[in-house]
Amino acid sequence: MRVNDFLDLVAHETHKQLPARWRTFRTWKRYTLIQFFYSRRAIHYEVWVRGGNIHALEIGLHCEADAATNRAILEKLDVCLFEIKDALGDRIEAEQWTKSWTRVHELMPYEKLDDATARACARRLAKMIAVLEPILRTERSPQRSPDARTERSPQRSPDPRTERSPQRSPDPPHATPAPRVPTTRV
C-alpha cells in the first residue's frame, strides 16, 4: 500500500473509532505524515511513517507552537503521566523533543503498510486522543502534589536524522476537515 493511501485509511479509521465528541478534527498531510488537529495546527496528533533503520510508525501528540505554550502543555501532561501511562502503556514518552518543541508519543514497529496496520495505528491514535484531549482541555494547574513521584523520560537531544525545522507556516487552505463517515447502529 502506498504511504498516501495508508495515511488516508488511518484518518478514516481513526474517525470511526473515536467517541463522537472527538471526531471534529481536521487533517493536514504531507509526504509521510498526517496531522490531526482541533483548533490550532501547531498542537496536533501525528502519525509519521518512519522508514530506513527505524521502520516504525510514530504516533503521538506534537506541540509545535511557541516554546512557552509547548512547555506549559508538557508540564500539564507530566502531572498526569502516571495516569497516561496506565491508560496507554509504558511505551509512551513525554519529552522535550527540540529546543522548543515537545511531544508525547510512541513508536509502533510495522512490517508492511496494509489495512491491518492502518486499523491498528488508528486504534492506538484514537485511544491516545481520547486519553490526552480531555487533559489538554482542563484548566488543571501543572503543580505536583508533594507526594507525587516522577519518572520522566530524560530530555533527549534531537536526532539529527529526523530534526525538522521549527519554522511552520499557518494552517494551509488545503487542510481538510475530518472525514464524514455515516454511522449506523447495529
CATH number at residue 45: 3.30.1460
- Residue 172 lies inside a defined structural domain of this protein: no
Nine cell digits for residue 25 = 478534527
Choose among 48, 96, 98, 39: nearest CA to 73: 96
For residue 126, the enclosing domain spans 3-142
* Average pLDDT score over residue span 127-143: 80
- Residue 174 lies inside a defined structural domain of this protein: no
- Residue 32 lies inside a defined structural domain of this protein: yes
Query: How many structural domains comprise the chain?
Result: 1
Q: What is the pLDDT of residues 41-84, one digit of tens each?
A: 999 999 999 988 888 999 999 999 999 999 899 999 999 999 99
- Residue 7 lies inside a defined structural domain of this protein: yes
- Please report the pLDDT score of residue 162 as a whole number: 40
- Please report the pLDDT score of residue 60 as a whole number: 95
pLDDT over 90 percentage in the chain = 58
Query: Confidence class of residue 175 from pLDDT cuts 50, 70 and 90?
Result: very low
Question: Higher pLDDT residue, 180 or 76?
Answer: 76
Cα–Cα distance measured from residue 67 to residue 180, given in angstroms and rounded to the nearest whole number: 34
What own/partner pairs with CB < 8 Å and gap ≥ 24 does 162-171 have?
162/50, 163/98, 164/98, 166/64, 166/98, 166/99, 166/100, 166/101, 168/41, 168/42, 168/64, 170/41, 171/28, 171/41
Query: Confidence class of residue 96 from pLDDT cuts 50, 70 and 90?
Result: confident
pTM of the predicted model as reported, rounded to 2 decimal places:
0.73
- Residue 128 lies inside a defined structural domain of this protein: yes
- Residue 58 lies inside a defined structural domain of this protein: yes
- Residue 151 lies inside a defined structural domain of this protein: no
- Residue 162 lies inside a defined structural domain of this protein: no
